[in-house]
Amino acid sequence: KVTAGEIHGCFAVLDGADAGFALYAADTPAFPFSQLPGYGTIVEIGLLPAYRGTGQGKALVAFLETCLRRNGITRCYVTAYGPAETFWSHCGYVKNGSTGTNGLPIMMKRI
């Protein structure tokens, strides 16, 4: 269960080996990194180099989106720059024209 205002995490394990991790949350006004209350957010995602470019990152994002949807969240956002923007674009996220408090572009998706 995704608890509003708390960061949740998961590890990606592939073929019995650690492959990466992700942090995600339901954004509320009380959320420490609040950008868009009412949205879900993927705060961080990382894969070990051996798993990059294999589709595992997109699969991990899809899993996180499913977790958020199961909790009634229908929209998600990320803040990203550089090569990460390309990754998020491939996952269906688009810039909304604004920047987060961290100065990075906000990218959104209906999930």
CA atoms of 30 and 78, how far apart (whole Å): 18
**pLDDT, tens only, 42-99:** 999 999 999 888 999 999 999 999 999 999 999 999 999 888 999 999 999 999 999 9
pLDDT tens, position by position, 24-39: 999 988 888 889 999 9
Q: What angle do CA 74, 85, 108 make, to 5 degrees?
A: 20
Task: Judge whether 35 and 77 are in contact, CB under 8 Å.
Answer: yes
Q: Is the pTM of this model over 0.75?
A: yes
Q: What is the CA radius of gyration of the chain?
A: 13
